[in-house]
Amino acid sequence: MIVRSASVIALILASACRGSSEARGAGRGDSSPQPPAPSTQPDSRPAIVFLGTSLTAGYGLGDPALAYPALIQAKLDSAGRRFRVVNAGLSGESSAGALDRIEWLLSRDRVAVLVVETGANDGLRGQNPDSVRARIQSILDRARRTDPPPRLVIAGMEAIPNLGPEYVRRFRSIYPALAKANDAALIPFLLQGVAGVDSLNQEDGIHPTARGQRIVAENVWRVLERVTR
């Protein structure tokens, strides 16, 4: 399900252009004011990190600004919530891969909220639901050891029906059980209203279109709006 996720160049080019303009102006004795240099100060806002798969990375959209984390940033800005969204979606990743990455993600940012969207690829591969749950629990355990610990949000996923009703039931139960055990907010199903709707998914029938991503963003915002108050 989850197959694939410049301003530095622009800054360099802008600086080069401005530098050559100033040099030419100096030769002509031009004393007109120059525009201020772009700010290079790091963004000090606390981060909301979306640890996820290609659903989060925005696979197939061609522009990360169309993926739901970027849409959540716009909603936060409109609501006056001073947070910075970090899209840490990685296409093709399983819960084991997410567990491998969590240490680095938590160490590089001041993480205020951690949104965990993982497990869909495990479900596609028929991985044991108990093992998937244990790996996600390890991710949450590592997050709680951070000082201060981030608020936790878990995005629920569903298994494909052809794995059988018992597997689907066990897989679905992973997410509410983890949310309850870890006092985490739960997005009941990330793809609610999008999964299975042809017009809202790309040709693979799995990854949302830009329109589908807007619905996913609403699913996430219903929970995150409360978490970020």
Antiparallel, parallel or unpaired: β 47-52 and 185-187: unpaired
Query: Is the separation of the CB atoms in 155 and 117 below 8 Å?
Result: yes
The two tokens of residue 148 are 């201060």
Residue 102 and residue 88: Cα distance in Å, rounded? 10
* 3-class secondary-structure state, position 85: strand
Known catalytic membership, residue 44: no
Residue of 220, 218, 188, 213 lying closest to 58 (CA atoms): 213
Known catalytic membership, residue 207: yes
Q: Is 62 left (phi over 0), alpha (psi -120 to 50) or beta?
A: left
Antiparallel, parallel or unpaired: β 47-52 and 84-89: parallel
Query: Is the separation of the CB atoms in 26 and 10 below 8 Å?
Result: no
Tokens 């991985």 belong to: 127
Among 5, 54, 94, 95, the active-site one is 54
Known catalytic membership, residue 109: no
* 3-class secondary-structure state, position 64: helix
Among 77, 130, 183, 204, the active-site one is 204
* 3-class secondary-structure state, position 196: coil
Among 91, 94, 95, 207, the active-site one is 207
**Mind telling me the catalytic residues?**
54, 204, 207
